[in-house]
């Protein structure tokens, strides 16, 4: 497209921080050390995980760059960056997480396909940009709309990024129109990250940020926004990131029987200790992160230092000096919480952290949400 191109090779990749653990060099996929995640509530962009499917697109002329909003709408519109920046700007603190986070640990139980990740394919940032609900009003779609008069029910985001999974076509994904037009869902067309212009790895010049939803739906290097009748038929919507029972394997899988994953489930990971750490007996600080999709806050984090026999509640925090309450007015509902507890450890043991999310604000009717993170001390 004019102003933004996808290279055919990896000769013009951006620089990356040397501390990142590289899980795939081409395309570049990397995560920070788990200990780096708990150093800051807001993850610096250098330490934010990098999830890519091809060479990083290059902006050749920012003045010519534009996004086309079209499809089942009354008045399709071409939007340049100056048009988007003229809309009200919002800052949304939101955690993004790759749906494959912790895939390496999963593979120890049962082999799964895809890039291997430890616990750090997740990060929390302050995203700045225009709300998608405001953008869609420019093409005649009012806020809180579920169906357009032309039959549109979903919003598809198409990247300039080309990937092998799409047989050389663009990366793409979609969300329901009802979510896209809801201002409270805080879906952004973001051009800033942590108060600075997006860098190339994270979607410069413009990306979608869909809070509370797996990172695969937050499309980077945006080229087109299409209003469509059915959900996106791209690879990462139809043949990846779906949940199947244990009886299903790669020989009998039927992708069409399951819906694409959207809200990510509650997550809890210990970051201050590796899976097997050698420490001196005595007081040990145990810290990590907990997060839940769909705007559900973290109601509690419990830690056990005897393999789950007994539990102690950990302290939870977001911003310093502000009390964290799962559904509190001052709490960032789309963001993770950091937890910490100090325990007396005298012998080899298994440390387990358990997070419970706030179901009162959940979009589901399940009675409880739990996630575990473990470390062994030897």
Question: Would you say residue 284 has pLDDT above 50?
Answer: yes
Question: Would you say residue 362 has pLDDT above 50?
Answer: no
pLDDT at site 48: 98
361 confidence band (pLDDT: 50, 70, 90): very low
pLDDT at site 372: 56
pLDDT at site 378: 55
Average pLDDT, the chain: 93
Residues 178-202: what's their mean pLDDT? 98
Distances (CA, A) of 268 to 59, 95, 97, 200, 271: 37, 13, 12, 29, 10
Domain 4-239 and domain 266-377, same fold? Reply is no
The third-level CATH classification (topology) of the domain covering 4-239 is Sulfite Oxidase; Chain A, domain 2 (3.90.420)
Two structure tokens written together for 256: 């069409």
**Burial letters 202-237, b for 16+ CB under 10 A, else e:** bbbbbbbbbbbbbbbbbbbbbbbbbbbeebbebbbb
Residues 272-280: what's their mean pLDDT? 83
Question: Would you say residue 370 has pLDDT above 60?
Answer: no
Residues 193-197: what's their mean pLDDT? 98
Tens digits of residue pLDDT in 13-45: 999 999 999 999 999 999 999 999 999 999 999
Domain boundaries, the chain: 4-239, 266-377
pLDDT at site 373: 63
Question: Would you say residue 364 has pLDDT above 70?
Answer: no
Q: What is the dotted CATH code of the domain comprising 266-377?
A: 2.60.40.650
């Amino acid at each position: 497209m004019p102003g933004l191109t996808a290279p055919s090779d990896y000769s013009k990749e951006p620089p990356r921080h040397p501390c990142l653990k590289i899980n795939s060099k081409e395309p570049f996929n990397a995560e920070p050390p788990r200990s780096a995640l708990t150093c800051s509530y807001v993850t610096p962009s250098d330490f934010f995980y990098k999830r890519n499917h091809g060479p990083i697109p290059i902006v050749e002329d920012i003045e010519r760059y534009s996004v086309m909003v079209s499809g089942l709408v009354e008045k399709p519109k071409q939007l340049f960056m100056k048009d988007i920046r003229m809309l009200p700007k919002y800052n949304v603190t939101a955690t993004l997480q790759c749906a494959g986070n912790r895939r390496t640990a999963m593979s120890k139980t049962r082999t799964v396909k895809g890039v291997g990740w430890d616990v750090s394919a997740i990060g929390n940032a302050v995203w700045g940009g225009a709300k998608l609900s405001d953008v869609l009003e420019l093409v005649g779609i009012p806020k809180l709309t579920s169906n357009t008069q032309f039959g549109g029910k979903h919003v598809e985001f198409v990247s300039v990024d080309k990937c092998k999974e799409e047989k050389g076509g663009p990366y793409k994904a979609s969300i329901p129109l009802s979510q896209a037009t809801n201002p409270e869902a805080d879906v952004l067309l973001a051009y800033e990250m942590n108060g600075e212009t997006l860098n190339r790895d994270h979607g410069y010049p413009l990306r979608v940020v869909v809070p509370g939803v797996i990172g695969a739906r937050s499309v980077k290097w945006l080229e087109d926004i299409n209003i469509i009748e059915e959900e996106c038929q791209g690879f990462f919507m139809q043949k990846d990131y779906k949940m199947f029972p244990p009886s299903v394997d790669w020989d009998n899988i039927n992708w069409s029987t399951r819906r694409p994953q959207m809200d990510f489930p509650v997550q809890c990971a210990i970051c201050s200790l590796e899976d097997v750490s050698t420490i001196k007996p005595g007081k040990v600080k145990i810290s990590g992160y907990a997060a839940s999709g769909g705007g559900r806050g973290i109601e509690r984090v419990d830690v056990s230092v005897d393999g789950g026999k007994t539990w102690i509640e950990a302290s939870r925090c977001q911003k310093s000096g502000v009390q964290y309450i799962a559904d509190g007015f001052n709490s960032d509902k789309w963001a993770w919480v950091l937890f910490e507890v100090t325990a007396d450890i005298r012998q080899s043991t298994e440390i387990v952290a358990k997070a419970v999310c706030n179901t009162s604000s959940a979009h589901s009717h399940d009675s409880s949400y739990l996630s575990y993170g473990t470390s062994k001390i030897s």
